Chains A and B, each alone.
Chain A
Amino acid sequence: MPLWTYVTARWQALLMDSYLHASAVVQATVLAALIGVGLGVAVYRSPLGSAVATALTSAILTIPSFALLGLLIPVLGLGVPPTMVALVLYALLPIVRNTVVGLNGVDRSVVDAARGIGMSRLRVLTGVELRLAWPAILAGMRVSTQLLMGIAAIAAYVKGPGLGNLIFSGLSRVGSVNAVELALVGTVGVIVIALLLDGAYVLVGRLTTSRGIRD
């Protein structure tokens, strides 16, 4: 069975590609979360600001990933930099939107009580509002991560890291030996990592969400 032989022979390289793929996606999601939550916090009180932030970040999402990556080459060159920038940009929308929705969903009476008993504005934000919006923010990060799994594969086009390299080299040699198998291994790898990361999200959610607001 040639596919199986290929996988066992290249086991190490495959693991390395998988690791790089997952690592790029996770790092991009975390960076996007820092930026996206900051943006969400800045705009959530103003309906206009929220609308603008959501519109801008969703505009990014409509740019085809090939085009965005290609446009970044002249600015950032090849490899990791354009890959990370593109991934962070694509991850922003779900996180910004969920941060805004989550913060606006916090019961006004809870915020009123928090201010009324003497918590400072910053403390209400970090100790109450963000804590209560956290499940929504995390759900946004989860969607972003899933979204990035596929986009990260395309990043091989700018010589980015990850399983995309396997898929691309397979597809570019269609007709020759093992070409389809190569692409298939890359694709299956992406799916497996996506499932593993999704499982990790469930775990992180349980560990970081208060029992008082978990369902």
Chain B
Amino acid sequence: MTDQAVDIQLENVTKRYSNTKQPAVRDFSMDIRAGEIVVFVGPSGCGKTTTMKMINRLIEPSSGTITIGGQDALSLDPDELRRRIGYAIQQAGLFPHLTVGQNIGMVPGLLGWPKPRIHARVEEMLDLVGMDPAEFRDRFPRQLSGGQQQRVGVARALAADPPVLLMDEPFGAVDPITRGNLQDELLSLQSELHKTIVFVTHDFDEAVKLGDRIAVLGPQSSILQFDTPEAILAAPADDTVAGFVGAGASLKQLTLLRVRDIELDEAETATIDEQPSVVRDRLVARNRKYALVLDSRRRPKRWVHLRDLNDGPLDTVGRPVNDLVTKQSTVQDALEAILTEGGSVPVVGTRGEYVGAVGIDTVMDTVRKLREEHENG
């Protein structure tokens, strides 16, 4: 295996637990292409976790073959194999007695990287998942929010730059807003990293948002349908899949449209240490009412209205930015954010830096266009 993305083949893989009559996974075959996100979605207990864990041999298949990047996975040393496959799970599974830095540096350490390289890598990974290394590297997991723990879990999984990433309901235990943000971040990461990702969830909306292809699984991990989200939404293979897809399938088309597909607005920006009077003059000159205040790393922090600009320094006036979207976010996410943020929501890049904004007008235009297309087509 190299650090290039690799493909994965499962052929006639079966898992029979010793204490059960029926196999948990029966005769599962699938080709996963290099660099794609395949989502396993299906009801609880259908065998998603068992299927995924056979790829990194946390569970040994009873029969069948698994090939990763052309190599027979069952012929490799399991510990060595796992160090080359990123693994992120629900509740993150961070080591509570180790710091964030030590958690992220664990796999590079196991691989025998020299200390300075590990140190630099930890910094890079924290940056990548949008956490300030200076602030977070020496914290312990219990000093993080649920969403931050999941970010560290993803950073730990990616630290040794594995070509394959396995994720088992990694965002299942966080609140919906944080989950949406984490999904966006995963997609921006993937647009840079091009890993081969197998992602397990029981949430079909999550599958639609993240998957290049979705495998809808039934009992004993039987593949009911394996196709792109668009194809599954448009033509569910059978009644079971249709039921799982849900009644609102046509509305879900909205969630297929990404922020990157629509034109971004330019917000009027200011940096946090600027003089309020300077910002005020600029707003007046350009005939704008709001400025978006960015911190020293160009991350959006506050919205300030023209009339707030007499009351003190920029980091105290106005109201904090509570919700952000990325270019990978769905237009649906952007709309929801606008409805809570009011007017407009900032769009940020992979490191949380400002790249534009989406206004309510743009979203309404998009909705109108979509509806026209739908009626004409």
Contact = CB atoms under 8 A, between A and B. Distances in A.
Interface of A: 107, 109-110, 112-120, 128, 131-132, 210-213
Nearest to B142: A212
22 contacts: A109-B91, A109-B93, A110-B93, A110-B94, A110-B95, A112-B89, A113-B93, A115-B58, A116-B58, A116-B87, A117-B82, A117-B106, A117-B110, A117-B156, A118-B84, A128-B95, A132-B97, A210-B98, A210-B140, A212-B99, A212-B140, A213-B97
Contacts of A128: 95, 97
B110 A118 contact: yes
Nearest to B157: A117
A107 to B, nearest CB: 8
Given A113-B93, A116-B58, A212-B97, 12 more contacts: A110-B96, A112-B58, A113-B92, A115-B82, A116-B87, A118-B80, A118-B84, A132-B96, A210-B98, A212-B96, A212-B99, A212-B140
A119 B79 contact: yes
Interface of B: 56, 58, 79-84, 86-87, 89-99, 106-107, 110, 140-142, 153, 156-157, 166
B94 A113 contact: yes
Contacts, number: 73
Contacts of B98: 210, 212
A109 B170 CA distance: 12
A115 B79 CA distance: 8
Contacts of B80: 118
A107 B79 CA distance: 21
Contacts of A109: 89-93
A12 B359 CA distance: 86
Given A110-B95, A128-B95, A116 B107 contact: no
A119 B87 CA distance: 12
B305 to A, nearest CB: 43
A131 B97 CA distance: 8
Contacts of B84: 118
A132 B93 CA distance: 13
Contacts of A107: 91, 93, 96
A118 B107 contact: yes
B140 A118 contact: no
Which of B89, B95, B166 has most A Cβ within 10 Å? B95
Contacts of B92: 109, 113
A113 B87 CA distance: 7
Nearest to A110: B93
Contact of A118 (B79, B91, B95): B79
A68 B169 CA distance: 56
Contacts of B91: 107, 109
Nearest to A119: B110
4 nearest A-B pairs in the assembled complex, by CB-CB distance: A113-B93, A212-B140, A118-B83, A116-B87
A97 to B, nearest CB: 22
A132 to B, nearest CB: 6
A110 B91 CA distance: 9
Contacts of B97: 128, 131-132, 210, 212-213
A116 B141 CA distance: 18
Contacts of B93: 107, 109-110, 112-114, 116
Contacts of A211: 140
Contacts of B156: 117
Contacts of A118: 79-84, 107, 110
Contacts of B153: 113
A128 B141 CA distance: 14
Nearest to A128: B95
Nearest to A116: B87
A113 B79 contact: no
Contacts of A212: 96-99, 140-142
B140 to A, nearest CB: 3
A173 B140 CA distance: 60
A213 B140 CA distance: 9
A88 to B, nearest CB: 29
Nearest to A121: B79
Given A212-B98, A212-B142, A213-B97, A113 B82 contact: no
Contact of B82 (A116, A132, A213): A116
A105 to B, nearest CB: 12
A110 B93 CA distance: 4
A177 B274 CA distance: 89
